[in-house]
Chain A
Amino acid sequence: MEEILRVENLYLYFRTSRGDVKAADGVSFSVKRGESLAIIGESGCGKTSLARALIRFLPRNVSMYKGKIILDGIDIMKLSDKEFDEKIRWRKISYVSQAAMNSLNPVIKIVDHLVEPLILKNMASKKEAVERAREILKLVGISEDFLDRYPFELSGGMRQRVVIAISLITRPDIVILDEPTSALDVMTQANIMNLLKELKRRFKLTYIFITHDIGTSSELADKVAVMYAGKIVEFGTAEQVYTDPLHPYSKALLNSVPRLHEERVPTFVPGSPPSLINPPEGCRFRPRCPNAMPICVKDPPVVKIGKNGYVKCWLYAKK
Chain B
Amino acid sequence: MSRKHRRKELIRIGRFIGIRALTVFASLVIAIYLTILIANMGGHIDKIMISEVKLRVYETLRNDPTWKALPSAEREKIAQSLIQQELERLGLTQPFIIRSFKYLQDALTLNLGRAMYITSGGGSKRIWDIITERLPPTILLFTTANVIIFFTEIFIGLVLSRKYGSKLDKLVVGSAWLSSMPGWFYGIFLILIFASWFKVLPYGGMVDAPPPEDPLNYALSVLKHMILPLGSWLIAYIPIGAYSRRTFFLLFSMEDYVEYARARGVPPRIIERRYILRPTLPPIITSFVLTLIASWMGAMVTETVFSWPGLGTLMREAIGINDAPVIIGVITIYAYLLAISVIILDIIYAIVDPRIRVKG
Contact = CB atoms under 8 A, between A and B. Distances in A.
Touch between chains A and B, by CB atoms below 8 Å: yes
Residue among A55, A102, A107, A117 with the most chain B CB within 10 A?
A107
B262 interface: yes
B265 interface: yes
B257 interface: yes
A132 B331 CA distance: 59
B263 A106 contact: no
Nearest to B258: A105
Given A57-B262, A57-B263, A108-B278, A153 B257 contact: no
Contacts of A108: 274, 278
Given A102-B256, A105-B257, A108-B274, A152 B264 contact: no
Contact of A99 (B256, B265, B281): B256
B69 interface: no
Contacts of B267: 120
Interface in A138-188: 148-150, 152-153, 163, 166
Classify the interface of chain B: helix, strand, loop or mixed: helix
A288 to B, nearest CB: 32
A99 B259 CA distance: 11
A103 B164 CA distance: 23
B1 to A, nearest CB: 6
B256 A120 contact: no
A105 B262 contact: no
Nearest to A52: B263
A20 interface: no
B263 to A, nearest CB: 4
B263 A107 contact: no
Nearest to B261: A105
22 contacts: A55-B263, A57-B262, A89-B264, A90-B264, A94-B264, A95-B263, A95-B264, A97-B256, A97-B260, A104-B257, A105-B275, A105-B278, A106-B257, A106-B279, A106-B354, A107-B354, A116-B266, A120-B265, A120-B266, A148-B1, A150-B358, A166-B264
Contacts of B266: 116, 120
A299 interface: no
Interface string A58-102: 001000000000000000000000000100011000110101001
Interface of A: 52, 55, 57, 60, 85, 89-90, 94-95, 97, 99, 102-108, 116-117, 120, 148-150, 152-153, 163, 166
Nearest to A117: B264
A52 B259 CA distance: 11
Residue among B259, B266, B274, B281 with the most chain A CB within 10 A?
B259
Residue among B263, B274, B275 with the most chain A CB within 10 A?
B263
Nearest to B262: A57
A97 B259 CA distance: 9
A89 B275 CA distance: 19
Nearest to A88: B265
Contact of B263 (A97, A105, A120): A97
Contacts of A107: 278-279, 281, 352-354
Interface string B242-266: 0000000000000111011111111
A99 B257 CA distance: 9
Interface in B131-160: none
Contacts of A150: 354-355, 358
A14 B265 CA distance: 21
A85 B264 CA distance: 9
Contacts of B1: 148
Contacts of B352: 107
Q: Nearest 5 pairs between A and B by C-beta? A: A102-B256, A103-B260, A89-B265, A57-B263, A85-B265
Given A97-B259, A103-B257, A105-B257, 19 more contacts: A57-B262, A57-B263, A60-B164, A89-B264, A89-B265, A97-B256, A103-B256, A104-B257, A105-B261, A105-B275, A105-B279, A106-B354, A107-B281, A107-B353, A148-B5, A150-B355, A150-B358, A153-B358, A163-B260
